[in-house]
Amino acid sequence: MSAKLDPSSKVHELHPQGVVFGRAACVGQDVFQLKTAGKYQLINLQKGRLDLLMDWIEGAPRPRASVVEGHMPRKIVFPMIEQQERLDWFNSRAKPQFIMMDAYSELTDQQFTHREEGWSFCCHYTDLNPTPDFEKLFEKKGLLPLEDIESTYWRFFDWVERELPLTNVVFVHYSTRFDSREHFKGRADEILRVMNKLQLTKPYIFNLWLHDHLYNPNEGDSFPYHYSQETYQSLVDIWNKAEGDPGA
């Protein structure tokens, strides 16, 4: 059965000023919080890689988080597998004020498919304990193929237009400035190319990105995809300008 938005659902307590559908990791969430200052409730599917998300929406079996849990030494990531199973967007009573996204899942998340039952989930390989038992249960299918990124994004945004018309999408891009791995640099470039192309025909998309030299590191944090507060503020400034409110 395909997932449908259900305006009668009462699973989530509504925020007085509305909800925002999220598909955002750290950077997208930090930019969202800096911009909105708690104004909206974010209903997030942090690792909802868009090819898998669209499969689930169209009726593919969702992950069974309980089966994955014992193979995840990093317990902080497990709730993101539960998000993939629940698809909380479809348990909201309200149409979102907008959709908040970033590029991280298509950039870095890998797909793992249950060999017998056929369902998939996604996370980083380093989030898992790849024991022989895990390898027996799951097939590693890797990153979303580079050549499939464009068709996947078109598939998702066509769905947005059908099911959530007149809903703006804010999309935050990552810089690979601090990542030496060339294949990730190519992926980030392709995501930016595709999203800029989409924005030409889908004016509800707001791309937030800076030239690489304007992304500054988060001091004291060696992770290559965490940036400084000044960087996040620069992305918010672009958002404000796109809304025609540069002084907000």
H/E/C letters for each residue in 187-237?
A: HHHHHHHHHHHHHHHCCCEEEECCCHHHCCECCCCCCCCCECHHHHHHHHH
Which range of residues forms the domain containing residue 58? Answer: 19-213
Q: Model confidence at 85, in pLDDT bands (50, 70, 90)?
A: very high
- Residue 67 in any domain: the answer is yes
24 assigned to some structural domain: yes
Number of folded domains that form the chain: 1
Confidence of residue 7 (pLDDT cuts 50, 70, 90): very low
- The mean pLDDT of 201-230, rounded to a whole number, is 94
Please report the pLDDT score of residue 105 as a whole number. Answer: 98
Percentage of the chain lying above the pLDDT 70 cut: 92
Any domain includes 6: no
Q: pLDDT grade, residue 220 (50/70/90)?
A: confident
- The string of DSSP letters for the chain reads ------TT--SSPPPTT-EEEEE--HHHHHHHHHHHTT-SEEEE-TT--HHHHHHHHTTPPPP-HHHHHTT-S-TTTHHHHHHHHH-GGGG-SS--S-EEEESHHHHH-EEEEETTT--EEEE-GGGS---HHHHHHEEEEEEPPGGGHHHHHHHHHHHHHHHSTT--EEEEPPP-TT---HHHHHHHHHHHHHHHHHHHH-TTEEEE---GGG--B-TT---TT-B-HHHHHHHHHHHHHHTT-TT-
In a domain? residue 135 = yes
Whether 103 is in a domain gets the answer yes
Q: Which residues pair with 110 in a beta bridge?
A: 123, 143
Contact 10, 93 (CB under 8 A): yes
Q: Give a yes or no: residue 13 inside a domain.
A: no
Q: What is the pLDDT of residues 155-184, one digit of tens each?
A: 999 999 999 999 999 999 999 999 999 999
Q: Which range is least confidently modeled, 7-16, 23-32, 190-199?
A: 7-16
* pLDDT confidence of residue 93: 80
- pLDDT tens string 97-145: 999 999 999 999 999 999 999 999 999 999 999 999 999 999 999 999 9
- What CATH number has the domain bearing residue 182? 3.40.50
For residue 85, tell me if it sits in a domain: yes
Question: Is residue 140, in this structure, part of any structural domain at all?
Answer: yes
